[in-house]
Structure 1
Amino acid sequence: MFVTALLLVVAAVAYFLLTTLVDFFPFNNVREAKRSEKLTEVAVNAPVMALPALLLVWAAAAGLPALAYAGAALELLVVLGGLALWWLPYLAGVTVPWATAGTGESWAALHARTYAKTVIVLPRRGDRPRPNLEHMILHTLILAAAVCAFAAATTL
């Protein structure tokens, strides 16, 4: 389970980096994102997303399950943050405070400019921003990594 957890964490980070920096339109729409937005997103999120992998490796090497649990908990926090960012506006019409961090735009405006033209499989709910397929896949990877990391921590 340790290897699976580690591979899922690394896969989620790699997927995040690719879909944030490389244009795969219409799967993503980074061509509409400002360079500064992409770099800020990578600088803020990639280290946090990669830390669980480091904690898992350190836990295995040192035989310290607490580090693996910390990595799993951090992975869970990452997915909860992503779900709050994307699913609260869609399901409840509530936008989290960090959604537009320093962009000077509302979440609805930022979404319309950068994500609304991407592949979206969910039905409309009024004028609420909908999670796109790119982020649904990312959240699934991170959630699977968190579950596997917790399972791996129990075996150390």
Structure 2
Amino acid sequence: MSERLQPGDAAPGFTLPDADGKQVSLADFAGRKVIVYFYPAALTPGCTKQACDFTDNLELLADAGYQVLGVSPDKPEKLARFREKENLRVTLLADPDKEVLTAYGAYGEKTMYGRTVTGVIRSTVIVDGDGTVERALYNVRATGHVAKLIKDLGL
């Protein structure tokens, strides 16, 4: 079971392929705030809603200095279909080995429909410009999460 991150922790570094297969590293955003959100699967209703909410608020977040990265265990090809189908503008990253999901505490046991299963825990981690975890939110809801996040950030 992976440990959940806490504010003040060093954010685990990573390099993952995006929807086009281009390598993207957390280090690429040094000096900028990054919202890393973890979701179970592209092209599913909840994950689509969340990705569309981030896309709809991308300008507001960018103006406030935030870069948004979405991470799922999907392969880049599926992420590309997801991006095209839903006109997404957030950067989607593929973590099929679940190493980054695990490092961020976003993969492990969770309760689904009353049963305990192992899978992706819908989570959002905000990393500040020096690579420190500012906020770590676990078991977030797909619907309304982005609006709540914006409110909590005072944007």
TM-score norm. by structure 1 comes to 0.31
Higher relative contact order (CA 8 A, sep 6+): 1
More strand by share: 2
TM-score norm. by structure 2 comes to 0.31
Which has the greater radius of gyration? 1
